[in-house]
Amino acid sequence: MQIALIILLNFISGAIILVQGVNVMTGGLEKANTFMMEKVLRLFAGNTVTAFITGIITSALAQSSTAVTLITVSLANSGILKLSQAVGIIYGANIGTTITAQLMSFNITGIALPVILLGLTIKFLFRKRNLSNVGTAVTGFGLMLLGLLILNSGVPLIRENSLAFKLFQKYGNNPLMGLLIGMVATMLVHSSSATVGLTIVLFNAGLISFEAAVGLTMGDNIGTCITAQMANIGTNIHARRTAWAHTLYNIIGVAIVFMAFTPFMKLVRFVTSLAGHDSSRLVANTHTLFNVLSAVLFLPFTRYYVKFLEWLIPEN
């Protein structure tokens, strides 16, 4: 009973610090780059291809596809962006934000405390807004690593507890259950990066199978759409279409992955091996490859996707 309580507290505290770390990091990056992101999106989203590239760059800088999507919904609502431009930005934003997951897949949790100290030092030494925000982002990155460190420290306890280990063995191999859990968890914490990070910990610890990890990652990508859906309440037709463009884009992509589940897993393993990565990078590579392939699949058919959205959500 005592071990079970320690496992629960370890999991809850680690997950909370991880989520908070991701939120602090993306919040700092957003504040440092919000004006620039909006300006770049206005200037360089001329067509679908340039909008796609702009979406990658802005999301990579902010490490939040949600922030870029919300700005895109806002710009579409004000009539600055056409739907085809907004769709291109969404394609790119989903790719740019996967950098966080890639960083979490490296075994660098041991530097968590020095990174937090560095971030706090920058924040308090430099009073200029941008530098202070950079300090906040660095602190958040350190907290994210600390959350992962705490979660990893609880893995041996889970293995020692027969009940906890049996639960993971029983339910940690079902991709459909993973899809549902990933979707709900991401909706609750509003951060796919945090839930992908948790998936990385569980998979690398051997507590869930690769099939379940893929399911969780797919659920994470759907769950992140809830924020854009909430933001489009009370907006005009252009903003609503943009929000649904984001949601349906991820849902269709996930549906295709589940229809070709085994080939997709083989492709992730092949790409991971080709890049010289070990199995600890599989989940992060799943997240990145899914979003890259979705963009490659949708880009040539954007004109038809836009027409479909206009048909699905008519003017009246």
Domain assignment of residue 163, yes or no: no
C-beta of residue 93 within 8 angstroms of C-beta of residue 58: yes
The pLDDT of residue 259: 96
Rounded Cα distance between 98 and 27, Å, is 16
The pLDDT of residue 128: 75
C-beta of residue 90 within 8 angstroms of C-beta of residue 72: yes
The pLDDT of residue 230: 84
The pLDDT of residue 10: 85
Place of tokens 């959350």: 147
The pLDDT of residue 302: 94
pLDDT in tens, the chain (316 residues): 566 677 778 888 988 999 899 989 988 887 777 667 777 777 777 788 899 998 898 888 887 787 888 888 888 888 888 889 999 999 999 999 899 999 999 888 889 999 999 999 998 888 777 788 889 999 999 999 999 999 988 878 777 777 777 777 777 788 999 999 999 988 888 888 889 999 999 999 888 999 999 999 999 999 988 888 887 777 788 888 998 999 999 999 999 999 999 999 999 999 999 988 888 999 999 999 999 999 999 999 999 999 999 999 887 6
Give CA torsion, residues 35, 39, 44, 46, to 10 deg: 130
Please name the residue ranges forming H helices in 45-174. 48-62, 65-77, 83-96, 99-104, 112-125, 129-153, 155-160, 162-171
DSSP letter (8 states) at residue 190: T
pLDDT tens per residue across span 81-121: 888 999 999 999 999 989 999 999 988 888 999 999 999 99
- Write down the number of H helices and E strands in the chain: 17, 0
Domain assignment of residue 164, yes or no: no
Domain assignment of residue 194, yes or no: yes
Rounded Cα distance between 287 and 282, Å, is 9
The pLDDT of residue 114: 94
Rounded Cα distance between 67 and 290, Å, is 20
The pLDDT of residue 131: 80
Domain assignment of residue 161, yes or no: no
The pLDDT of residue 263: 97
Q: What is the pTM of this model?
A: 0.90
The pLDDT of residue 200: 93
Query: Directed axis angle between helix 192-204 and helix 129-153, to 10°?
Result: 30
C-beta of residue 215 within 8 angstroms of C-beta of residue 175: yes
Give CA torsion, residues 199, 201, 204, 206, to 10 deg: -80
Domain assignment of residue 162, yes or no: no
The pLDDT of residue 34: 67
Rounded Cα distance between 207 and 158, Å, is 9
The 3-state DSSP class for residue 200 equals helix
Domain, as residue range, for 77: 2-156+169-312
Total domains in the fold of the chain: 1
Alpha-carbon separation of residue 89 from 76, 101, 135 (angstroms): 11, 20, 28
Domain assignment of residue 223, yes or no: yes
